């Protein structure tokens, strides 16, 4: 181990359609500095198919991973010899892509005798708010990405309780599918948001599924079907029709998300009556300004603090993976090189738990 007061960590991310690598300095729990954070997105490669093609994603990761990692080292002005730990997303995600990052990280680890840490990609997302800002445990996370929509109670590192999740599509996926339906380019989320700005949100009264349910789950497939039916009814669509559908859909989404967030904050306050609720929004959909605005309103109403990390930390990146590895390394955690990639890896699974007695 080095004599430095910090650990330098390489983080690698290949779980979906971003090939990413970052190098951070990790000083202590919740304290780190990003030295390099390189992300190569594959959006263009998948756009003609209207969604991420797993096999293409894996091949593209293979082609680019080495260059991305090298660029991270160049930007940080460091070499492998300066690194203390190697962290990599080992799941959940597309298995082919995960295998690329995992195999690459294991190779570097074995050849350079650097401890290897397998990171749960979702853990990386929910801890990422702590890189730039002080966020104390416990806190509440709304994780909304292309693959996930869930409320997570973050009690400590490795101690996560899922308060609610989607019973069908993820929120980003719903945006992407609506975008595709309307012939917009990929990824659908940012395009739908852009189109919505010019539309009349009151023209279509789309359903708000599950709003009367007491739990914290989401469901977006009924809403998606309603959008499709409305679009089919008025086809062929003119520009203004597309704007209006996007605006009405976005309003339905922000109503749903803010109502669920309201309930989640109430739940947090019941569990931790003497703790001011911090609501962190993580995942790519956190970029949506309308959603962020409606969440800010709810947080304000409930006396909670809303934290939206900078966009480059919300979407898939290597810095969040390196940071999660740094936090875990503090507890002496590393993994064997036979650690297998996991397509599914719930945050509340047993192998996430840290034995704080170590
Ligand atoms: O976290 P992320 O980069 O990748 C994973 O899925 O893990 O999230 C990507 C998702 C996509 O579905 C994309 O359409 C959505 O985030 N997204 C947005 C916006 N920007 C990205 N959805 C709505 N509004 C946006 N501005
Ligand atoms: Zn992600």
The CB of 315 under 6 Å from ligand 1? The reply is yes
Q: Kindly list the structural domains of the chain, giving each domain's residue range(s) and its CATH number in brackets, ordered by start.
A: 7-129+313-352 (3.30.420.40), 136-308 (3.30.420.40)
Q: What are phi and psi of 28, to 5 degrees?
A: -160, 180
* List of residues 6+ apart from 349 with CB closer than 8 A: none
- Looking at residue 246, its pLDDT comes to 98
First CA to last CA distance, the chain:
18
pTM for the model stands at 0.94
- pLDDT reading at 183 higher than 60: yes
Q: What are phi and psi of 85, to 5 degrees?
A: -140, 155
Contact between 68 and 26 (Cβ < 8 Å)? no
- Looking at residue 212, its pLDDT comes to 77
- Which of 107, 92, 100 lies closest to 61 in space, CA to CA? 100
Provide the percentage of residues in the chain whose pLDDT is more than 90.
92
The CB of 186 under 6 Å from ligand 1? The reply is no
Helices 221-233 and 171-181: crossing angle, nearest 10°? 10
* List of residues 6+ apart from 82 with CB closer than 8 A: 8
CA pair distance 260, 282, nearest whole angstrom:
15
- pLDDT reading at 358 higher than 70: no
Between the alpha carbon of residue 62 and those of residues 19, 53, 55, 346, the distances in Å are 9, 14, 11, 26
- Which of 90, 169, 129, 104 lies closest to 345 in space, CA to CA? 90
- Ligand with the closest atom to the CA of 250: 1
The CB of 188 under 6 Å from ligand 1? The reply is yes
Q: Which of 92, 145, 313, 319 to mutate to test the pocket of ligand 1 (most atoms within 8 A of CB)?
A: 145
231-236: long-range contacts at Cβ-Cβ below 8 A with a sequence spacing of 24 or more?
A: 231/181, 231/182
How close is the Cα of 318 to the center of ligand 2, in Å?
10
Provide the percentage of residues in the chain whose pLDDT is more than 70.
99
pLDDT, mean over the chain: 95
- Looking at residue 321, its pLDDT comes to 98
The CB of 101 under 6 Å from ligand 1? The reply is no
Helices 221-233 and 239-271: crossing angle, nearest 10°? 160
What does the pLDDT look like over 121-174, one tens digit per residue? 999 999 999 999 999 999 999 999 988 999 999 999 999 999 999 999 999 999
The CB of 285 under 6 Å from ligand 1? The reply is yes
Contact between 249 and 206 (Cβ < 8 Å)? yes
- pLDDT reading at 1 higher than 60: no
Closest ligand 1 atom to 176 CA:
14
What is the pLDDT confidence band of residue 355, given thresholds at 50, 70 and 90? confident
How close is the Cα of 227 to the center of ligand 2, in Å?
26
How close is the Cα of 227 to the center of ligand 1, in Å?
19
- Looking at residue 301, its pLDDT comes to 97
Alpha helices per DSSP H over 113-220:
121-127, 129-132, 171-181, 188-196
**Beta-carbon-side half-sphere exposure of residue 97 (alpha carbons within 13 Å):** 27
What does the pLDDT look like over 193-246, one tens digit per residue? 999 999 999 999 999 877 778 899 999 999 999 999 999 999 999 999 999 999
Q: Which of 97, 101, 126, 172 to mutate to test the pocket of ligand 1 (most atoms within 8 A of CB)?
A: 172
What is the arithmetic mean of pLDDT over 352-358? 80
- pLDDT reading at 80 higher than 70: yes
CA pair distance 209, 294, nearest whole angstrom:
18
The CB of 97 under 6 Å from ligand 1? The reply is no
**Which of 4-8, 242-246, 288-292 is least confident?**
4-8
- Looking at residue 29, its pLDDT comes to 95
- pLDDT reading at 3 higher than 70: no
- Looking at residue 5, its pLDDT comes to 85
Contact between 348 and 161 (Cβ < 8 Å)? yes
Strand partners, 121: none
CA pair distance 299, 318, nearest whole angstrom:
29
What does the pLDDT look like over 322-338, one tens digit per residue? 999 999 999 999 999 99
- Ligand with the closest atom to the CA of 173: 1
The CB of 175 under 6 Å from ligand 1? The reply is yes
How close is the Cα of 20 to the center of ligand 2, in Å?
11
Q: Which of 16, 40, 175, 292 to mutate to test the pocket of ligand 1 (most atoms within 8 A of CB)?
A: 175
Which region, left, alpha or beta, applies to residue 30 given φ > 0 means left and ψ of -120 to 50 means alpha? Answer: left
The CB of 91 under 6 Å from ligand 1? The reply is no
What is the pLDDT confidence band of residue 357, given thresholds at 50, 70 and 90? low
Contact between 132 and 138 (Cβ < 8 Å)? no
The CB of 172 under 6 Å from ligand 1? The reply is yes
What is the pLDDT confidence band of residue 41, given thresholds at 50, 70 and 90? very high
- Ligand with the closest atom to the CA of 126: 2
- Which of 231, 192, 227 lies closest to 206 in space, CA to CA? 227
Closest ligand 1 atom to 283 CA:
1
């Amino acid at each position: 181990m080095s004599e430095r007061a910090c650990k330098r960590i390489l983080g690698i991310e290949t779980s979906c359609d971003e090939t990413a690598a970052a190098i951070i300095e990790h000083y202590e729990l919740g304290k780190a500095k990003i030295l390099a954070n390189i992300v190569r997105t594959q959006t263009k490669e998948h756009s003609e198919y209207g969604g991420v093609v797993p096999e293409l994603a894996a091949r593209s990761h293979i082609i680019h991973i080495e260059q991305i990692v090298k660029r991270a080292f160049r930007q940080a002005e460091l070499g492998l010899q300066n690194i203390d730990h190697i962290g990599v997303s080992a799941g959940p995600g597309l298995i082919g892509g995960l295998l690329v990052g995992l195999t690459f990280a294991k190779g570097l680890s074995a050849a350079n005798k650097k401890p290897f840490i397998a990171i749960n990609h979702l853990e990386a997302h929910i801890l990422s708010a702590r890189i730039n800002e002080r966020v104390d445990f416990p806190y509440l996370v709304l994780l909304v990405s292309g693959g996930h929509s869930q409320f997570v109670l973050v009690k400590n590192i490795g101690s996560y309780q899922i308060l609610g999740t989607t019973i069908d599509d993820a929120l980003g996926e719903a945006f992407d599918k609506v975008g595709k339906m309307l012939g917009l380019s990929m990824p659908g989320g940012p395009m739908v948001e852009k189109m919505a700005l010019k539309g009349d949100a009151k023209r279509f009264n789309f359903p708000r599924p599950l709003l009367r349910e007491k739990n914290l789950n989401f469901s977006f497939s009924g809403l998606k079907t309603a959008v499709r039916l409305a679009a089919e009814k008025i086809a062929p669509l003119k520009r203004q029709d597309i704007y209006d559908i996007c605006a009405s859909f976005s309003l339905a989404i922000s109503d749903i998300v803010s109502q669920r967030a309201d309930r989640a904050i109430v739940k947090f306050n019941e569990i931790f009556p003497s703790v001011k609720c911090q609501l962190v929004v993580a995942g790519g959909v956190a970029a949506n300004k309308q959603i962020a605005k409606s969440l800010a309103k709810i947080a304000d109403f409930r006396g909670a603090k809303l934290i939206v990390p900078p966009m480059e930390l919300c979407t898939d990146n290597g810095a969040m993976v390196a940071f999660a590895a740094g936090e875990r390394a503090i507890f002496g955690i590393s993994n064997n090189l036979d650690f297998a990639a996991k397509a599914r890896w719930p945050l509340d699974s047993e192998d996430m738990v840290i034995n704080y007695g170590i």
